[in-house]
Structure 1
Amino acid sequence: MSMTTPPGWYPDPAAPTVERWWDGTNWTAHTRQAPTGAYPATPMAPSTVVAPAPSVRNGRSRAVVLGAVAVAVVAAVVAGVLVFGGDDKGDAPPAAGPTGATPTAPTTSATSDAPVDEEEDEKPTQVDDQLNGITLPVIKGWEKPEFSSDPAPTITTVGTYQCPGAATKKCRHGTVSSHPVGGSSTATPEAVAKEDIVLAVKETFQEDILDTFPYGTMVSHKVVAARPAVVAGRTGYLVRWQVVTDKGPGGYVQSLAFPSPTGSESPVVVRFLFDAGPDGPALTVMDEITRGIRPIGSDTNGGVGTSITPGTPGTPGT
C-alpha cells in the first residue's frame, strides 16, 4: 500500500529557510518564510559536499588560499545546479516531493499564502487566492482590507466598529476568507465543512493574544443550514451556525467546503462571519458571495453557487 503525504506547508528541500506548498500530489510554486519551530517530517534534500580549503604552509600566499576557496565554492554551486536542476530564477519548485515523487513543476508564479490580488485599482472587484485557484468577489459595501491579522485571502464589510467584547479593538460586521484544508484529500465536502465549522467558531469566539474576547464568548448555537451547494464549478457542502454570545448581538458562522477547481482538487474552505445584529449583512449576502466565487481566470461560474437540494437558504437542509 502506497503512502501519500497530505497537502500542507513543508520545508523546501532546496532552501532550508523557506516552506513550499505540497498539494498532495505535486509541489506548487507557492512559498513563504519558514516559521520557527519543528517541521513536518520530510526527506532532506541531497547535501552538497564542499572540499575543505588547503592549509597554509610555509609562506603560501593568501591569494593562493583564497583562490582554492573560490574554486570550492564554484564547485559547490555547480553541484547544486546538477542536483536540483536550478537556474537563475531561484524559486522554481524542487524536483522531489515529500513522498519522493518527481512531479512536473507548475507554471504559475511563486507566491505566499497572503492575499495576492496585486491590482493597482484602489477598489478591486475580486481577491485572488492563487493557492486554492479561486477568486472571492468584492461586492458593493465590501472591500479588500488594507491591513489584516489573517494572512488568508479576505474580503470584509467597509468600515469598523468597537468590538462588543473589547473596547480597545475594532471589529467588522462581515468577514469572508478562504483557506486550504490539510489532512486527507479524500474527505467529503460534507465531512470537511462539519469539522471546519467547529474550528471556525472556536477561532472566532476564543480569547485572543491580548487576553480579550473581541466578539464575546459563545453561550449557545444552533444549526440554521446544512446542505450541498455547487461553487466554482465543484459540488461542495455548507454548514451555517447561529451563535449566541455573552456580549453583543452574536453572529452567523458558515463553513463552505468544496474541491479546488485546479491541481489535485484539494479541499478548500471559505469561512463566513456575519454579525447577527441589525448592522450585520443579510444572510442572503452569504449566498451572493458564494455565487460570485469563481476559478481563477474564469469570467463566469456557469450559474453555480446555488443550493442543489430543496429548501430555502438560511433554513436547515436535508
Structure 2
Amino acid sequence: MTTPPGWYTDPGQIPDHPPQERWWDGNAWTEHRRPAGFPPVPPPPPGRAGRGPLIAGLVGAVVLVAALAVGAVLLLGADDDESGPDEAGPEPGASAPKDPEEKEPAPEAPPSEEPELPTEPPEGDQPKPADGVRLPVLNGWEGSGGSVAIGTYKCPGDAHEKCLRGGSSIMEAEEKGSAEEIAGTDVERNAKSAYNADTYGGITSHKVLKKGKVKVAGQDGYRVRWKIKNKIKPDAYVESVAFEHPDGSGKMLVVRSGFDIHKDAPPLSDMDKLIDGISRGSAEDDGSRENV
C-alpha cells in the first residue's frame, strides 16, 4: 500500500541537527525539505499520485500522506533529476548563421531549486488531514503521528512503483453522519484507494470480518473491517474507523488502514493496536512516543 503525499519526518535526519521534514510524493522521497513544525501545507506534488495501499491517506489526510525519525530508515528512491543546458550560451552580441533547413529547438524551462508552497491545499477529493490527534508508531513501523507505514516492495502492477505492506492514516471524515454511517461508507472508498485497479488489477470480492462499536481516544467510535480479493495478489485487509474528535468540536474523524495478506506484512493484531493507541496530540508528532 502507498503512503499518501505529504510532509513527514526526514528519514535522513542527521543526529544533533535541528529536526526537519521531507516531502513524500506518494511514490518516493523527494529532495524537498523544510524545518519541522511548519503548518501542514503541502507543496504541489511534482509527479503522479501514489499507488497502492495506504492510507489515503498517509495523506492528503495528513497525509501526512509525511518523515521518519525512527532508527530503521527506509529511503524510498527518488531520482535526482537536474535539467539544464550542457553548454553555456553565446557571448552577448554574438550570432551564428542559421541553416534554413534547421528547425528551431523548443525552449527549455529553467530548472527550479525549490517548489513554491501554495497558500492553500490543492483542490481535489483527497480527505483533509486531522489535527489534534495522533496514531502510535508501533515497533517496526515508521512515520509521524498523522500517518504510519511498514514495509516497502515493488508494486505488483508496476515494478517501477513502490508499495507498502501496511499503513494507516487519520483524517477528517468526508461526509456527515454517525460514526456507524461514516465507517460503513468510507470502507469501500478506502479499499479502492489503497488497492487501486491500476496496481492490483481491481477488487473482485470482499468479506466483512468485523464491524461494531469501538473506543477511540476516549470517544465512541465504529469500525468496519473487510478482507478483499484482488485480481493481482496480494489480497488484503482494509478497515475504516470513524469517531468524534476528542476536542469536543463535534468534528468526525476517520482512520483508514490497509494491510497486505502476505508473510512480510504486519500481523492483523497491529490494526487493533493502532486504534487502541490513538491519542490527543499533534499529527506532526515525530513519533518519539513509540508504542512498544
CA distance in 2, matches of 1:177, 1:285: 14
Partner of 1:190: 180
Which residue of 2 is the match for residue 250 of structure 1? Answer: 235
List aligned pairs for 1:104-115, cutoff 5 A.
113=62, 115=64
In structure 2, do the counterparts of structure 1 residues 173 and 259 end up closer, same or farther at CA, with 3 Å as the change threshold? same
Alpha-carbon RMSD: 3.2
What amino acid sits opposite 1:255 in the alignment?
Answer: S
Correspondence for 1:7:
none
Distance 1:116 1:172 in 2: 12
Contact 1:228 1:238 in 2 (8 A): yes
SS at match of 1:214: helix
Give structure 1 stretches of 5+ with no counterpart: 1-29, 36-111, 146-151, 208-212, 298-318
Which of 269, 277, 294 is the aligned partner of 2:279? Answer: 294
* Structure 2 counterpart of 1:172, one-letter code: L
* Structure 2 residue 171 is matched with structure 1 residue 179: yes
- How many Å separate the matches in 2 of 1:240 and 1:276? 14
Residue type at the aligned position of 2:149: T
Question: Do residues 231 (structure 1) and 207 (structure 2) align?
Answer: no
Aligned: 1:204 with 2:188: no
Equivalent of 1:282, from 261, 267, 270?
A: 267
Partner residue, 1:138: 137
Alignment-derived partner of residue 162 in structure 2: 170
CA distance in 1, matches of 2:274, 2:40: 28
1:4 is matched with none
- CA contact 1:204–1:215 (8 Å) conserved in 2: no
Q: CA deviation at 1:34?
A: 10
Of the candidates 154, 169, 180, which is equivalent to residue 147 of structure 2? 154
2-structure distance, mates of 1:231, 1:200: 19
2:187–2:239 Cα contact (<8 Å) kept: yes
Of all paired residues, the percent bearing the same amino acid is 34
Change (3 A) 1:166 1:189: same
Deviation track 1:42-80 (CA, whole Å, cap 9, x = no partner) reads xxxxxxxxxxxxxxxxxxxxxxxxxxxxxxxxxxxxxxx
CA distance in 2, matches of 1:189, 1:238: 8
Contact 2:134–2:170, Cα closer than 8 Å, also in 1:
no
Counterpart amino acid of 1:115?
L
The answer to whether the 8 Å contact 1:130/1:296 transfers is no
CA distance in 2, matches of 1:228, 1:167: 39
Check the 8 A contact 2:210/2:226 in 1, yes or no: yes
Separation (CA, whole Å) in 1 of partners of 2:228 and 2:255? 18
Kindly state the Cα deviation for residue 263 of structure 1 after the two structures are TM-superposed: 4.6
**Native 8 Å contact 2:67 2:143 kept in 1:** no
What letter matches 1:294 in structure 2?
Answer: S
Cα 1:113/1:206, change in 2 over 3 Å: closer
Q: How many Å separate the matches in 2 of 1:190 and 1:255?
A: 10
Q: Quick check: 1:114–1:153 contact (8 Å CA) kept in 2?
A: yes
Distance 1:31 1:139, change over 3 A: closer
Deviations 1:217-245 (A, max 9, x none): 11111100011100101010000000001
Give TM-score, length-normalised by structure 1: 0.49
Q: Do the aligned residues in 1 keep the contact of 2:226 with 2:237 (CA within 8 Å)? A: yes
Gaps of 5+ in 2: 1-38, 45-60, 73-127, 283-292
Letter in 1 for 2:196: Q
Higher helix share: 1
Counterpart amino acid of 1:266? Answer: K
Q: Secondary structure at the match of 2:175?
A: coil
Q: 1:264 to 1:141 in 2, by over 3 A?
A: same
